[in-house]
Amino acid sequence: MKKITFLVMSLFFTQLNAQLIAIDSIQTKDGTLTIQPITHASIILTYEGKTIYVDPSGDLKKYKNCSNPDIILITDIHPDHLNLKTLEGISTKNTLFIVPQAVADKLPSEYKNQIEVLNNRQGIHRLGLFISAVAMYNLPENKNAYHPKGRGNGYLLYLDDTKVYISGDTSGTQEIRSLYKIDIAFVCMNLPYTMDIKEASSAVLDFKPAIVYPYHYRGADGLSEIKKFKEIVNKENSEIEVRLRDWYIE
């Protein structure tokens, strides 16, 4: 474990639309963080009365019993991250959108007064939280890559003393490998769009988060072998807790 103290780690379940959705509740030094997988790249985080949606997409029934978002983070322009149909079905009247410029350019005008543009290496204080943008891109760098450098954002969330990293769509770049004292990380792994499990595990072993969740792990040939990812990571570093959760419950 890292220096952060996790006082309680529990897994509980809630029944949503006849589906059993796993929610992790983590008691940190300063408050309770809940983590709810939704689908693929979509996550709901709740901390100290604030609800953060990451890349909301998918079936609106999955959001039916969820709190309305205070913040929506969007990483990229692709429809598994920027999904206008899903956004239209969510109550966002009082929501702050934090997005890269490429996403801001594609959001409808009705959201324009709610948008804060955050580009790579920039940070912003909002609602008592600090959020910074981490570059996400494919290697080798190529103008025709699925994810060119500078277009999308990974995110670092500073929840008091707890640091949460959300990778977005990326390779195992130097920006990821240089991350420091990350408490919770969500790391993508789906070829040909991002990393395979070997590259993802190599990056994770470099930056050593206390807890890592494989997410965004459905690729062109089906689901990545996240159990193998866990084996690779824990063979080299047993102190990294790899949490396997199902982002693909139908």
The per-residue pLDDT of the chain, averaged, comes to 90
Q: Is 3 domain-assigned?
A: no
- Domain span at residue 204 reads 8-242
Q: Is 249 domain-assigned?
A: no
φ/ψ of residue 219, rounded to 5: -120, -165
For the segment 124-131, the average pLDDT, to the nearest whole number, is 95
% of the chain at pLDDT higher than 90: 80
DSSP string, 17-37: TTEEEEEEEEE-SSSEEEEEE
Q: 160-176 pLDDT, tens per residue?
A: 999 999 999 999 999 99
Model-level pTM?
A: 0.91
Q: Is 107 domain-assigned?
A: yes
List Cβ neighbours of 166 (8 Å cut-off, separation of 6 or more). Answer: 43, 54, 73, 75, 154, 155, 156, 157, 185, 186
Q: Is 29 domain-assigned?
A: yes
The CATH number for 192's domain is: 3.60.15.10
| Residue 102: pLDDT band with limits 50, 70, 90 | very high
Q: 180-231 pLDDT, tens per residue?
A: 999 999 999 999 999 999 999 999 999 999 999 999 999 888 999 999 999 9
Higher-confidence residue: 34 or 221? 34
Residue 151 reports pLDDT greater than 70: yes
Q: How many Å apart are CA 132 and CA 122, to the nearest integer?
A: 6
Residue 39 reports pLDDT greater than 60: yes
Q: Is 2 domain-assigned?
A: no
| Residue 6: pLDDT band with limits 50, 70, 90 | very low
For the segment 41-62, the average pLDDT, to the nearest whole number, is 94
Residue 29 reports pLDDT greater than 60: yes
Q: Is 1 domain-assigned?
A: no
Q: What is the pLDDT of residue 21?
A: 60
Whether the CB-CB separation of 69 and 94 falls below 8 Å is answered with: no
List Cβ neighbours of 154 (8 Å cut-off, separation of 6 or more). Answer: 75, 133, 134, 135, 136, 165, 166, 167, 168, 170, 175, 176
Q: Is 113 domain-assigned?
A: yes
Count how many domains the chain has.
1
Q: What is the pLDDT of residue 232?
A: 98
Q: What is the pLDDT of residue 4?
A: 46
Q: Is 186 domain-assigned?
A: yes
